[in-house]
Amino acid sequence: MEQEEKEDMRNGRVAAIVHLSVLGWSATILTAGYLNIIKADPTFVASIFTGCLSAYGIQRADNSRKPDRPNEQPMKSTPSPPSK
């Protein structure tokens, strides 16, 4: 049983390293493309980047989204105090 736990931990580490490597690669390619260092279609790379981020629970902000709860109101920015 202990051997299986060690192998599961090892497989988890390898998966995390591969996942982070793909995330780093896609971020690098996207950045290089936006800086015109390389010519590449960013669509495929952006989808890989978004998929890697979503695996960590990171999503893009969507301000047009309706509140999840019916009674919940979207946050409004507070007005700055009047200057004297």
pTM to 2 decimals? Answer: 0.59
| pLDDT reported for residue 39 | 87
CA dist., res. 37 & res. 8, Å (int): 40
CA dist., res. 50 & res. 46, Å (int): 6
Residue-range domain boundaries for the chain? 20-60
Say how far residue 63 (Cα) sits from the centre of its chain.
17
Band of pLDDT at residue 76, cut at 50, 70 and 90 = low
| pLDDT reported for residue 21 | 93
| pLDDT reported for residue 81 | 64
| pLDDT reported for residue 4 | 82
Band of pLDDT at residue 68, cut at 50, 70 and 90 = low
| pLDDT reported for residue 41 | 83
